[in-house]
Amino acid sequence: MRPISLHLNDGAARPWFLWNEDLSVDEFRARLHGEDAAERDRLLALLLREANDAEVWQFVSPQQVADALPRLQRRLGVRRAPFWNFLIERWRRDGYVV
């Protein structure tokens, strides 16, 4: 396995939050936006659960998170699910996402 890295702008680096998967930033991004819906949801849930919230936006948009959130609830855990629900609901109220 590649060593993990904090350098999310390095496409060849393995993101620190992928501690159990050997994917580069570029590979992660490609799968996250790929054709396989189940894999997209799995990786998005992993991103929302493991990465820092500010780093999430390097990979997906707030609208993508808002659209997927109902499907991902059970995968986010008891600590992260309330955070993402709060954030998206506030952004909906303020008109940032629909």
Each residue of 21-72: pLDDT tens digit?
A: 999 999 999 999 999 999 999 999 999 999 999 999 999 999 999 999 999 9
The number of distinct structural domains making up the chain is: 1
Decide if 98 is inside a domain. no
Q: Is residue 56 included in any domain, yes or no?
A: yes
Q: What is the domain extent for residue 38?
A: 4-93
Is there a domain that residue 10 lies in?
Answer: yes
Mean pLDDT, the chain, integer: 96
Residue 19 lies in a domain: yes
Write down the pTM of the prediction: 0.93
Q: Token digits for 54?
A: 């500010």
Provide CB contacts within 8 A for 97, sequence distance 6+.
Answer: 62, 63, 65, 66, 88, 91
